[in-house]
Homo-oligomer: A and B are copies of this chain.
């Protein structure tokens, strides 16, 4: 076992000729200097060897092995901080999300992490809780961390002041060499990963109307949020094709989460019996609405149909007849990271990756939309 441990480089051996401090309760991390000393070479040489600079043919093959052995025996691992200091930028990505607990955000993060791991990058995650000031504050924190790229998975709004404040920060970060990628729709001019929320919502509305539904309420999410705006606009456009209109007072602008759904249903109250469909612009709101309906003795889809948007997979298991729009959130994350750090391929050069949505009607995937 001792040998095994040594081989995996985890058990530092004191450099020869030095007496080790009592125990190894708190030894400092191994530095390149330690490796160089043990291998009896200069520090820059050790660096070159470990970075492949020394090709190691002929005689110096022995030197190469000496250094590599020393590094292995000591359990050396290069200090990311020192590298970052020297290079001027870290091998890290800064990621901003609204809320990690939100299922959609979690899936996006998972996609980013998977792609980041392949590239040996570390991801620093921060949550804004949809607070505009905090978002700016966190972006300034990113400035000091010298990230290679910044990915924003937070919701962009139509609030010009707020967006300008964010843009101001992003400009600085970009000037300092960080690539900026936004996930979701926005009016900004940065690289983007999106779906066509408008058309997907329209397709869903189309299906619902074609099935004979006529009286709709819409749970729209915050009024300023661009994603919400696009989805509502698309949904209304889809209904319009069938000559259906939704009165202003049946469009609710509350939170994008379960509470938003609860609230809207409670406000609807007795008007619920006049509705065929409550169309929520997120699965979270849909779940909240379903729970609130049930408290009033209404079952879905028996008494009233509730639809969502995003396609949280778990919901399909517990609500078999739930209609929603599938958004490839995991792919969002992967694409965002690729755009952020990969050499620009023809696709990435366009600085806009549009993914496809799928339409799920009463639990059945109908097809893939643009």
Contacts and interface: CB of A to CB of B under 8 A. Distances in A.
B92 A100 contact: no
Contact of A80 (B26, B29, B144, B313): B144
Contacts of A103: 103, 106, 314
A117 interface: yes
A99 interface: yes
B90 A100 contact: no
Contact of A77 (B90, B120, B144, B287): B144
A169 B113 contact: no
Contacts of A316: 291
A125 interface: yes
Contacts of A294: 320
B127 A125 contact: no
A109 B125 contact: yes
A356 interface: no
A69 to B, nearest CB: 17
A138 B123 CA distance: 13
Contact of A287 (B126, B169, B314): B314
Contact of A113 (B25, B27, B100): B100
A159 interface: no
Interface in A51-90: 75, 77-82, 84-85, 88, 90
Contact of A145 (B10, B75, B80): B80
A311 interface: no
A210 interface: no
A142 B143 CA distance: 22
Interface string A307-329: 00000011111111000000000
A175 interface: yes
A156 interface: no
A34 interface: no
Contact of A11 (B143, B168, B313, B319): B168
Contact of A81 (B77, B146, B165): B146
Interface in A136-170: 136, 138, 140-141, 143-146, 165, 168-169
A114 interface: yes
Contact of A127 (B101, B110, B143, B291): B110
Interface in A277-327: 284, 287-288, 290-291, 294, 313-320
Contact of A172 (B10, B113, B291): B10
A8 interface: yes
A26 B175 contact: yes
Contact of A110 (B99, B124, B291): B99
A175 to B, nearest CB: 5
A110 B127 CA distance: 8
Contacts of A82: 81, 85
A287 B125 contact: no
Contacts of A15: none
5 contacts: A11-B168, A110-B127, A122-B141, A258-B317, A290-B318
Given A81-B82, A315-B318, 19 more contacts: A10-B171, A10-B172, A26-B177, A27-B176, A28-B176, A78-B144, A79-B146, A80-B81, A81-B85, A100-B113, A103-B106, A105-B106, A122-B145, A123-B126, A258-B314, A258-B317, A287-B318, A291-B316, A318-B318
